Amino acid sequence: MWVELLLLPDLAEIFKQHRAPLRSCRLVCQFWNEIILSLPIPKIGLRLNHYHWVTEQDTDAVPFFDTSFTIDARIAKRISATCLHSAASLYPFASKLMYACDRFNEVVQILEISIDQENGLKSVHQVLQNFCPNLKELRITCKFKTATNQNVIAAEVQQLVEKPGLTLFALNSKLVIPLLPCLAQLVVNAAPNLKDLTLPWGFHPDFANSKCIDTLEVVIDGITPDDISLTPATFSELGRMLNQYLDFEMDNPIGFQLLGKMPKLRTFRDEMLDILPVKDILEIMPELEAIFIGKTNRKSSRMQDELQNICNANKIFRRVKNLVLLEVDDPTLLEGLAKVFPNLESLKVDTDNETGFHGGENEMKLDVVLKACGAWGVKTFQLMGGRGINTTSDLTEDEMDLFKKLREPMAGLERVTISNLYLKTATVERLLAFMATNNMSRHKFKMFKDKRPAPSSFMLKLHRGEGSNTFSGLLFYCLDLLFPACNACSHVVVQT
């Protein structure tokens, strides 16, 4: 039959028009409509959209009810319902959704729902409870900004009728309200043959009724580290959920390993090592050239443990050129890393927290860190002030005297860049006059304009409020500490 249809002149003419919109094609040939509506995986569907531009026609569901008697039922294999930015459209949205699912109850195979009104979940639950027994795919996208009726809605949730054909369930939401984890659990319970599951971070359903899941995706898009709960209960629930359907080794707090041996990998980035741990990074990825690792929870010792293991291995990795460490608490580790990575060209150390993972004062003080990094040395130094702070200031006499004392150490450097520092004209003239008097080469000093740091760098990021020094005083204190230890490393960046 399909071969005969494809040989029809009208249909052949449609296929010749590569740019012909499908909406136009359906108006040309009934055979085309028959092919599209007969596809096993629906490519077109019934769209029920309600946005912020609500018209009288949108709020009146009667015209839609009339239309539903004339359309081909196969169009309703796929229903896409959207209700965004308008509380006024919630009622017509709900009435059309429930009517369509009732009218085409046995036909609906794919249901896609996108809402930003929490009350809309009532209608979603009603549909899943009473209609669509042959549902195969369910996608729910929630764009809530606030939670208003959490307790009222959650109390009304009931068990769903079993849906043996449901194999795909995708739930996305940045805001977690009590009903959502409950709704996710109800869907999982009602779908014993579920294979493909997508959940937001923080959802841990019980898979006791699920024996067929082969794909589980935990979405953290749009989630910042501060939004991620790192309590022992979170780790326990995540581990429990994963161990219900996968046999991972219980050799870390979460209970699963992300990676196996990757001999060809050149760049590795894991800024949540405490959440997604990887043991023996350099052993399973021996060809690495760039490493970016960090942690999100200041109380976690995972970062320290991994770095200590690298130092204790007494191995040298000459390929690594770029190393970025986020939230390091022990400056003595830097001395060990200098032996492990002798050919390092770029090092960035970023520490935001004033307290260490042990709860005491963070040991990553500026003078200690710079001395620990002395094994690398520097030829280029860059200090970056806070961007967006445009207040001009003068250097005190003590700060000016310190700058003068640093003339000899700076003479051995190839490049000195001080960015985002706004000095008054009189102070700038004094600095330039001093440099001219002492034959300090102007071409290697860039002090009053921002400049993108060179590729090879050591960056130490500082934050205001961590000491009693003013910014300008801290600036020259950095210089005084740093230059005696600067001999061979490529580039240093100190950022506040």
Q: What is the pLDDT along the chain (496 residues), one digit of tens a residue?
A: 444 555 556 656 666 665 656 556 555 567 767 777 777 777 777 888 754 444 545 555 666 666 767 787 788 899 988 887 666 677 888 888 888 899 999 999 999 999 888 888 888 999 999 999 999 999 999 888 776 655 544 545 678 989 999 999 999 987 777 788 889 999 999 999 999 999 988 888 988 888 888 888 888 766 665 556 556 667 677 777 877 766 433 344 444 455 567 788 889 888 877 777 776 777 778 888 999 888 877 677 788 888 888 888 888 888 898 888 887 777 778 888 888 888 888 877 777 666 555 556 666 664 566 555 655 665 665 555 545 555 566 777 777 776 676 666 566 566 666 666 667 778 888 888 888 888 777 666 666 543 333 333 444 444 444 444 444 454 554 444 444 444 444 454 544 4
Q: Which residues contact 387 (CB under 8 A, 6 or more apart)?
A: 420, 450
- What ranges do the domains of the chain cover? 39-223, 365-496
Q: Output the pTM of the full model.
A: 0.51
Which pLDDT score is estimated for 489? 47
Which pLDDT score is estimated for 35? 74
- Dump the DSSP string for 238-283: HHHHHHTT------SSSS-------TT--EEEES-TTTS--SSHHH
Which pLDDT score is estimated for 137? 96
Place of tokens 């699920």: 210
Place of tokens 């445009």: 390
How far is it, in rounded angstroms, from Cα 369 to Cα 460? Answer: 9
Which pLDDT score is estimated for 441? 72
Which pLDDT score is estimated for 425? 79
- Dump the DSSP string for 140-197: EEE--S---SHHHHHHT--PPPP-TT--EEEEEESS--THHHHHHHHHHHH-TT--EE
**For residue 42, how many C-alpha atoms fall within 13 Å in the half-sphere facing its CB?**
21
Which pLDDT score is estimated for 186? 93
CA-CA-CA-CA torsion for 47, 50, 54, 59, nearest 10 degrees?
70
Contact between 275 and 228 under an 8 Å Cβ cutoff? The reply is yes
Q: Which residues contact 29 (CB under 8 A, 6 or more apart)?
A: 8, 10, 11, 14
